[in-house]
Amino acid sequence: MAVNRNFRTCPSSGLVFHEPAEKLIRWNAVAGVVSLLVGGVLALLVTLTRWPAVKLLPPDWFYLALTAHGLDMLVFWIIFFEIAVLYFAASTLLKCRLATPKVAWVAFWLMIVGALTNNFAVFKGDSSVMFTSYVPMGAHPLFYLGLILFAVGALVACFVFFGTLVVGKAEKTYNGSIPLVTFGAVTAAIIAVFTIAAGAIILIPTFLWSVGLVSHIDSLMYRTVWWAFGHSSQQINVAAHVSVWYAIAAIVFGAKPMSEKVSRTAFVLYILFLQLASAHHLLADPGLTSNWKIFNTSYAMYLAVLASMVHGLTVPGAIEVAQREKGFNKGFFEWLRKAPWGNPSFSGMFISLVGFGFLGGISGVMMGTEQLNLIIHNTIYVPGHFHATVVVGTTLAFMALTYFLIPTLFRREVMFPGMAKWQPYVYGLGMCSFSVFMMGAGTLGVPRRHWDMAFSGAILPHEFPGTAYLMMGIMAVSGIAAVIGGGMYLAITVGSVFFGKKIQTPDFKHVPVRQGMAPAPVPVAAAPSGHGSIGIGGFVAPGTFVLAMIFLTSFILYYFVNWKYLSTVWPLK
Amino acid sequence: MSQVPASPAPADDDMHDEPVPMMQQLIDNPFLLLFLGVAMPTVLYIVWGVMEIVGIPIAK
């Protein structure tokens, strides 16, 4: 057999790495981090330009930087890292070989060529069409071609992931159902397949339009189909980062989900309904009926929101149960006070969870309500919302996972451990504040994507209140703090991977699978029937219950405050 | 490895005999989930949305 089936067991974590999978995970993660570096530098430039007192870049450079920032962060950084997570969740967690590593390398190089081509088109200066690239605003054909190549590579990688599930099942490397974290990765991969297919449906004709082979693309048709790609790509992130939350809870605390059934059902709700939320981008568009808008954004999306609330409850709940079983059982919050706040994997994950729920989640539901959407449509509130979901939620969760992967995957000690302790706080809290003040300014009507919020020289100028300028200033200062946090992350990861002290793996050896290295199936242990005497008043996780009630109260208050606000900005008598 | 301990065998048999609930069968089949996860938004978001746009009367 020419199949490479080499495995390595990590002495510290006990994880089994298939060597070709390990290499692919590393390369995808590194490609992601390089994209993060480029996107991070651009983030600083964009932030300093939107700061009214600074206005760093001229308009053409601003739109170029904003386009490249959106693509490098929302597409390249996150999807490269997600592919690494998919390979990890399939090959490493199922302890099986990666299906078709050669095809996985083809996928990787397609993604690299696609990302470079797209960046080349943007930096050339004639493709400053923003992340959304709405027609009839046209970009250079290489812009679309790069995205298509990247999407094809990512799609192939998703099928390598599904193939690995088949390999694991066929070679009986696990018993019963796949682990919950892998199930979350399946959810992410399914959403990715839909996302990429939708991208192909719209980007291929747009590419043909850009080279003159198609005469016209209807702008509303473009927007409708494009958002099935554009927004769903962010739903891949949600599924992936929720999986990372579960993984980190298990790694740091040995926490088991409070109810596997409930958590898996929540992931199924994501599979069925999460992508439909794309419709909230079209709530102000004529041509689509309220039936379509309300079904997709309200009825269906709320089921996906329910799933997020389930995850937001079960992850801290599982941590609380694990902590209480270790003896931190006093009062409501001893488990939380005595959590390892100096461990960046935990602190990053927890800030990600709280920030995603309180800022990204609540604002997302508000935006997804057709009437309320009118208050903030196309204002800077929108990027405020998605920086809370994609940056605080996804990026910070991925950063938290990196601190675990450096010693286990890259076999290096984490450099600058003192800085690593602080990094999630600087980045996470900076980004939370950034999102809050963006949303605040957006509520006052400050437009998104605009180089000059003062509309200097416009025929119909608009005077924003001083508070809007103040909020934009605080937003920029918070953004700079987050960029510093991002720089800390890059210094730690790049330093550790290239210059960190090597961790020797004494039992690392190449062994053909026929000699017994394919891990034998291990019967799944019976689930414990109870949690003993932990908790308060019959609740095993009372602290999480209190947190959930605080969340619900905030949710309801914010929702109704916005209805009240709507009645003042849109007086009907 | 040729000798199998006496006690775990019945437990294993029990495990295999126990019928797998329908919902678990659904959840354990990633390709069925893939079909559902692609079909639902394709029909409810893309097809429905495109039909509405196509149905808009063209100005004369």
User: Which of B31, B40, B45 to mutate against chain A (most A CBs within 10 Å)?
Assistant: B45
Task: State mean pLDDT over A497-514.
Answer: 70
Which chain B positions have a beta carbon within 8 Å of A218's beta carbon?
53
DSSP secondary structure string, A354-379? HHIIIIIIHHHHHHTSHHHHHHHTTB
Task: State mean pLDDT over A474-502.
Answer: 95
Task: State mean pLDDT over A326-346.
Answer: 94
Give the other-Cβ count within 10 Å of A124's Cβ: 13
- Is B30 an interface residue toward A (CB < 8 Å)? yes
Task: Give the pLDDT confidence score for residue B10 in this predicted structure.
Answer: 46
Q: How confident is the model at residue A2 (pLDDT cuts 50, 70, 90)?
A: very low
Q: Does the beta-carbon distance from B44 to A296 stay under 8 Å?
A: yes
Task: Give the pLDDT confidence score for residue A99 in this predicted structure.
Answer: 94
Look up tokens 């693509």; give the residue. Answer: A71
Enumerate residues 6+ apart whose C-beta is below 8 A from A115. Answer: A31, A35, A72, A75, A76, A80, A146, A150
Q: Is the pLDDT of residue A530 over 50?
A: yes
Which chain A positions have a beta carbon within 8 Å of B28's beta carbon?
176-178
- Is A159 an interface residue toward B (CB < 8 Å)? no
Task: Give the pLDDT confidence score for residue A532 in this predicted structure.
Answer: 60
Task: State mean pLDDT over A224-241.
Answer: 93
Report the C-alpha gap between A480 and A487 in whole angstroms. Answer: 10
Q: What is the mean pLDDT of chain A?
A: 91
Q: Is the ipTM of this complex over 0.85?
A: yes
What's the pLDDT tens digit per position in B11-29? Answer: 444 555 678 888 888 889 9
- Listed range (A146-150, A337-341, A368-372, A524-528) with the worst mean pLDDT: A524-528
Report the C-alpha gap between A299 and A527 in whole angstroms. Answer: 35
More confident residue, A345 or A17: A345
Backbone φ, ψ for residue A570 (5° rounding): -135, 65
Query: Secondary structure of chain B: what % helix, strand, coil (to 5)?
Result: 70, 0, 30
Q: With beta carbons less than 8 A apart as the criterion, state whether A481 and A437 touch.
A: no
- Give ∠ CA A258-A407-A418 in degrees, rounded to 5: 90
User: Which of A268, A280, A298, A522 to mutate against chain B (most B CBs within 10 Å)?
Assistant: A268
Task: Give the pLDDT confidence score for residue B15 in this predicted structure.
Answer: 52
CA distance B18 to chain A (A): 12
Nearest to A21 by CA among A73, A76, A99, A131: A99
Task: Give the pLDDT confidence score for residue A131 in this predicted structure.
Answer: 93
What's the pLDDT tens digit per position in A245-256? Answer: 999 999 999 999
Q: With beta carbons less than 8 A apart as the criterion, state whether A452 and A429 touch.
A: no
- Cβ-Cβ contacts under 8 Å between A and B: the total is 89
Q: Does the beta-carbon distance from B45 to A275 stay under 8 Å?
A: yes
Task: State mean pLDDT over A526-548.
Answer: 76
What's the pLDDT tens digit per position in A361-388? Answer: 999 999 989 889 989 999 999 999 999 9
Continuous segment of H or E residues that includes residue A7 = strand A7-9
Continuous segment of H or E residues that includes residue A105 = helix A101-124
Q: Is the pLDDT of residue A112 over 80?
A: yes
Length of chain A: 573
Q: Is the pLDDT of residue A70 over 70?
A: yes
Q: Is the pLDDT of residue A302 over 80?
A: yes
List C-alpha distances in Å: A237 to A230, A288, A340. Answer: 12, 27, 26
- Is A294 an interface residue toward B (CB < 8 Å)? no
Q: Is the pLDDT of residue B5 over 60?
A: no
Task: Give the pLDDT confidence score for residue A522 in this predicted structure.
Answer: 47
Nearest to A114 by CA among A77, A76, A67: A76
Give the other-Cβ count within 10 Å of B1's Cβ: 5
Tell me which residue in B28, B37, B49 faces A271 most closely, judged by beta carbons.
Answer: B37
Task: State mean pLDDT over A529-535.
Answer: 64
Give the other-Cβ count within 10 Å of A139's Cβ: 23
Which chain A positions have a beta carbon within 8 Å of B24's beta carbon?
177
CA distance B59 to chain A (A): 13
Q: Is the pLDDT of residue A166 over 80?
A: yes
Q: Is the pLDDT of residue A505 over 80?
A: no
What's the pLDDT tens digit per position in A385-405? Answer: 999 999 999 999 999 999 999
Q: Is the pLDDT of residue A129 over 70?
A: yes
Q: How confident is the model at residue B2 (pLDDT cuts 50, 70, 90)?
A: very low
Q: Is the pLDDT of residue A301 over 70?
A: yes
Q: Is B28 helix (H, G, I), strand (E, B) or coil?
A: coil
Q: With beta carbons less than 8 A apart as the criterion, state whether A222 and A134 touch.
A: yes
Report the C-alpha gap between A301 and A307 in whole angstroms. Answer: 10
Which chain A positions have a beta carbon within 8 Å of B42's beta carbon?
194
Q: Does the beta-carbon distance from A193 to B33 stay under 8 Å?
A: no
Report the C-alpha gap between A182 and A91 in whole angstroms. Answer: 10
Residues 3-22 of B with CB under 8 A from A: 8, 12, 15
Q: How confident is the model at residue A7 (pLDDT cuts 50, 70, 90)?
A: confident
Q: With beta carbons less than 8 A apart as the criterion, state whether A10 and A17 touch.
A: yes
Q: Is the pLDDT of residue A514 over 70?
A: no
Q: How confident is the model at residue A454 (pLDDT cuts 50, 70, 90)?
A: confident
E strands, A320-454, in order: none
- Is B27 an interface residue toward A (CB < 8 Å)? yes
Task: Give the pLDDT confidence score for residue A508 in this predicted structure.
Answer: 58
Task: Give the pLDDT confidence score for residue B25 in this predicted structure.
Answer: 86
